[in-house]
């Protein structure tokens, strides 16, 4: 099933680079040894092939994930589709790739995988949340029937609340199994508690936003994550 990861995806995605050309892979994991995941990631990132990667990698922990079993998420954000192709091709023939996968399999199990594209970032573009590896995120999985209208309404809504420090990401979902969601919105906060007490309904212009989007979008799921570790390209 689609796991809320795709939402974490969006948030982390624009963390270091805000570009609509960015594409991402997301892996929902059932982790038995979190320290082992970090160790395996550190080893691969510091390897010769790992140092050639242009992707940013984010490890997030699920705080609320509904009935899904995944405990963690790994999000891989590529600067462009071309970078994604190059990174995948390089990893496929890398001497240490099979060893890395073996080490990851010993400490985690993949529950689901997805790919998509970042469409935009809205709100306070100077917020420290854009580069905070430990930020909390709430993800809204959406089935959108009119993407252009929704994107316009989302842009106006987030811009109207920039002075409140809102940081929000909008992404499209290209593939994620059988889940019906087509888009994901990820809102960023300093802590899980702050996320809980700042619902979208409390922001300026919510009624107008709802009027514009109520008939073209359905919420398929909501999840919360906490950022743990970020590996950025050299």
CA pair distance 71, 57, nearest whole angstrom: 17
As for how many domains the chain has, the answer is 1
Query: What are the start-end ranges of the E strands in the chain?
Result: 23-31, 56-64, 72-78, 108-123, 136-144, 167-175, 183-189, 217-231
Show the domain range for 21. Answer: 5-231
Q: What is the pTM of this model?
A: 0.88
CA 108 to chain centre: 19
Return per-residue pLDDT of the chain as tens, 234 residues: 333 444 444 444 444 444 458 999 999 999 999 999 999 999 999 999 999 999 999 999 999 998 889 999 999 999 999 999 999 999 999 999 999 999 999 999 999 999 999 999 999 989 999 888 999 999 999 999 999 999 999 999 999 999 988 899 999 999 988 889 999 999 999 999 999 999 999 999 999 999 999 999 999 999 999 999 999 998
Q: Which of 150, 138, 215, 136 is nearest to 182 (CA)?
A: 150
Sequence-distant (6+) residues with CB within 8 A of 43 are 100, 103
Q: In this structure, what CATH number is given to the domain that contains residue 196?
A: 3.30.70.100
């Amino acid at each position: 099933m689609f796991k809320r990861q795709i939402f974490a995806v969006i948030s982390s995605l624009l963390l270091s680079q805000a570009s609509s050309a960015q594409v991402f892979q997301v892996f929902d994991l059932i982790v038995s040894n979190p320290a082992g995941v970090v160790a395996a990631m550190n080893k691969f990132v510091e390897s010769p092939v790992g140092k050639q990667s242009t992707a940013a990698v984010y490890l997030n922990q699920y705080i609320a994930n509904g009935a899904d079993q995944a405990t963690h998420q790994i999000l891989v954000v590529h600067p462009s589709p071309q970078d994604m192709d190059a990174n995948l091709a390089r990893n496929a023939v890398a001497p240490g790739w099979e060893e890395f996968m073996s080490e990851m399999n010993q400490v985690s199990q993949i529950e689901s995988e997805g790919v998509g594209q970042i469409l935009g970032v809205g709100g306070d573009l100077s917020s420290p949340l854009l580069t905070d590896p430990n930020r909390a995120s709430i993800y809204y999985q959406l089935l959108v029937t009119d993407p252009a209208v929704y994107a316009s309404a989302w842009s106006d809504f987030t811009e109207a609340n920039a002075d409140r420090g809102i940081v929000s990401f909008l992404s499209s979902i290209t593939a994620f199994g059988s889940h019906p969601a087509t888009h994901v919105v990820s809102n960023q906060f300093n802590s899980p508690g702050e996320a809980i007490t700042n619902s979208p309904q409390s922001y300026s212009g919510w009624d107008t936003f709802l009027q514009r989007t109520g008939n073209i979008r359905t919420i398929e799921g909501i999840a919360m994550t906490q950022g743990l570790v970020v590996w950025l390209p050299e």
